[in-house]
Amino acid sequence: MRALQMVGEGRLEMDEIAVPEVREGWALLRTVASAAGLFHTQMVKGMLDTGGLPRILGHEIIGEIVEAGSPASPPPGTLVVSDAVVGCGVCEWCIRGEDSICPWMHHLGIDLDGGFAEYVLAPEANIFPLPPDINVQEAVMLSSAVPATVHAVSKVGVDAGMRVAVSGVGSIGFAVCQVAKAFGATTIVAADVSDAQLEAVAPWVDATINVGDMTPAEADSAMREAGGVPHGFDVGFETAGQASSVDTTIKVLRPGGSAMMMGIVDGRTAINFESYLAEFVRREVSFVTTFGFTRKDFLIGNALYLGGRLDVSPLVGPTVTLDEVPATLDYIVEHGTGGKRYVVDVGMA
Ligand SMILES: [Zn+2]
């Protein structure tokens, strides 16, 4: 099979290698599509442990079953999306269904071979059947962007009737607004510094605010007013990864509210241990973090998408071939992704 392998730091190589042999508990998939994004540029730079080289990257996997042994597995030929998280299955976290934080976790496309090849092995427990006529480019979003969002929305406890503030509506914030609505949020206010992004998310939320020239305190007041929630929001999502966005997200909470921190902030925020008593303890607000997703999040995300509750089309970027992946990653390093996932056509035809 043709496989795009990482063979060293900064080095991807197209090789002809043997199709992997099926092991017990694992299914052999013919890869249909994968995705390329900022994460892969970091992988290629050597920022994550690949568990040895060469390694086939590509953690987002849409495939067709070639062979699977379990009677519960869908039959050969079934189109599936694979969860890339491979928990040990034995530890207390895996038993609780928290496989995304299993200390012995492996990951397809990171330290196990992934979807940048014509065939890939995936645990049978990780594959979810999809309708054969599904839009494959959109289905790629079900392999990471959607379950990651479901995980965050469900972990922070969004429920019927809740009032939600979303700071940052790039691809993740956009998905957060839709999933929060599907979980029953009745008031959603989105803030960003880009009018274009606010316009895209407008149909899914109750109000949008450009906070580009506001301090966190000003953004807080404007968001409370727009949402009609003078005492603050039940839940705030931070997805921008900016210090000012973190400050705003904490400020907009009602006493007893929860902040879900999805952005990776690199820098100092105004909220620190000196303001800890006033901002956190006195108002009894919670600070919740998220990493990855579980198989249950996959089930929920797929059901929401197939049930017409999510529009992932704005997240879909250009489609490239496997051969074009190295040049695409170079392009992403230079120009970013514009909040979209590049779809990698491995065997879509
Ligand atoms: Zn485990």
Regarding whether 236 and 325 lie in a shared domain, the answer is no
Range scoring the smallest mean pLDDT among 133-137, 337-341, 344-348: 337-341
Regarding whether 35 and 68 lie in a shared domain, the answer is yes
pLDDT digits (tens, 9 = 90+) for 36-50: 998 899 999 998 999
Q: Give the model's confidence band at 337: pLDDT under 50 very low, under 70 low, under 90 confident, else very high.
A: confident
Helix axes 295-306, 171-182, angle to 10 degrees: 80
Q: What's the mean per-residue pLDDT of the chain?
A: 94
Kindly give the distance from the C-alpha atom of residue 309 to the centroid of ligand 1, in angstroms, as a whole number: 32
Q: Is the pTM of this model over 0.75?
A: yes
Last residue of a domain, one of 252, 269, 289: 289
Kindly give the distance from the C-alpha atom of residue 114 to the centroid of ligand 1, in angstroms, as a whole number: 20
Regarding whether 211 and 119 lie in a shared domain, the answer is no
At 335, list the tokens: 């120009």
Kind plus residue range of the DSSP H or E element containing 257: strand 253-261
Q: What is the mean pLDDT of residues 149-175?
A: 96
Regarding whether 107 and 21 lie in a shared domain, the answer is yes
pLDDT at 272 over 90: no
Regarding whether 138 and 10 lie in a shared domain, the answer is yes
In a domain, 152, yes or no: no
Regarding whether 281 and 315 lie in a shared domain, the answer is no
CA distances 147 to 9, 141, 201, 305, Å, are 29, 9, 19, 11
Q: What is the CATH number of the domain that holds 338?
A: 3.90.180.10
CB atoms within 10 A of CB 339: 18
In a domain, 316, yes or no: yes
At residue 226, the 3 state secondary structure works out as: helix
Kindly give the distance from the C-alpha atom of residue 26 to the centroid of ligand 1, in angstroms, as a whole number: 17
In a domain, 192, yes or no: yes
The sign one gets for the Cα dihedral 87, 92, 95, 100 is negative
pLDDT at 63 over 80: yes
pLDDT score at 278: 80
pLDDT at 270 over 70: no
The whole-angstrom separation of Cα 2 and Cα 16 is: 5
At 193, list the tokens: 């510094």
pLDDT score at 276: 79
pLDDT at 274 over 80: no
In a domain, 149, yes or no: no
In a domain, 150, yes or no: no
pLDDT at 336 over 80: yes
pLDDT at 241 over 90: no
Regarding whether 169 and 113 lie in a shared domain, the answer is no
Last residue of a domain, one of 251, 273, 289: 289
Last residue of a domain, one of 289, 311, 336: 289
Regarding whether 297 and 283 lie in a shared domain, the answer is no
In a domain, 312, yes or no: yes
Kindly give the distance from the C-alpha atom of residue 291 to the centroid of ligand 1, in angstroms, as a whole number: 15
In a domain, 309, yes or no: yes
Kindly give the distance from the C-alpha atom of residue 346 to the centroid of ligand 1, in angstroms, as a whole number: 31
Kind plus residue range of the DSSP H or E element containing 127: strand 127-129
Regarding whether 32 and 162 lie in a shared domain, the answer is no
At 238, list the tokens: 């931070």
Regarding whether 227 and 134 lie in a shared domain, the answer is no
Q: What is the mean pLDDT of residues 92-117?
A: 96
pLDDT score at 71: 86
Q: Percent of the chain at pLDDT above 70?
A: 99
Which of the pair, 214 or 276, is modelled with greater confidence? 214
The whole-angstrom separation of Cα 28 and Cα 65 is: 6
Contact between 223 and 209 under an 8 Å Cβ cutoff? The reply is: yes
Q: Give the model's confidence band at 52: pLDDT under 50 very low, under 70 low, under 90 confident, else very high.
A: very high
Regarding whether 331 and 197 lie in a shared domain, the answer is no
Q: Percent of the chain at pLDDT above 90?
A: 87
pLDDT score at 339: 79
In a domain, 203, yes or no: yes
Regarding whether 285 and 324 lie in a shared domain, the answer is no
Which residues lie across from 342 on neighbouring strands? Answer: 36
pLDDT at 275 over 90: no
At residue 303, the 3 state secondary structure works out as: helix
* Count of domains forming the chain: 2
Please measure the distance between the N-terminal and C-terminal CA atoms of the chain and give it in whole angstroms.
16
Kindly give the distance from the C-alpha atom of residue 283 to the centroid of ligand 1, in angstroms, as a whole number: 36
pLDDT at 202 over 70: yes
Kindly give the distance from the C-alpha atom of residue 86 to the centroid of ligand 1, in angstroms, as a whole number: 8
Q: What is the mean pLDDT of residues 154-162?
A: 98
Q: What is the mean pLDDT of residues 264-292?
A: 81
Kindly give the distance from the C-alpha atom of residue 151 to the centroid of ligand 1, in angstroms, as a whole number: 18
DSSP characters for 178-196?
HHHHHTT-SEEEEEES-HH
Q: What is the CATH number of the domain that holds 272?
A: 3.40.50.720
Kindly give the distance from the C-alpha atom of residue 80 to the centroid of ligand 1, in angstroms, as a whole number: 24
Kindly give the distance from the C-alpha atom of residue 101 to the centroid of ligand 1, in angstroms, as a whole number: 8
DSSP state of 134: S
pLDDT score at 178: 97
pLDDT score at 309: 95
Q: Give the model's confidence band at 83: pLDDT under 50 very low, under 70 low, under 90 confident, else very high.
A: very high
The whole-angstrom separation of Cα 148 and Cα 317 is: 18
Full residue range of the structural domain in which residue 244 is found: 157-289
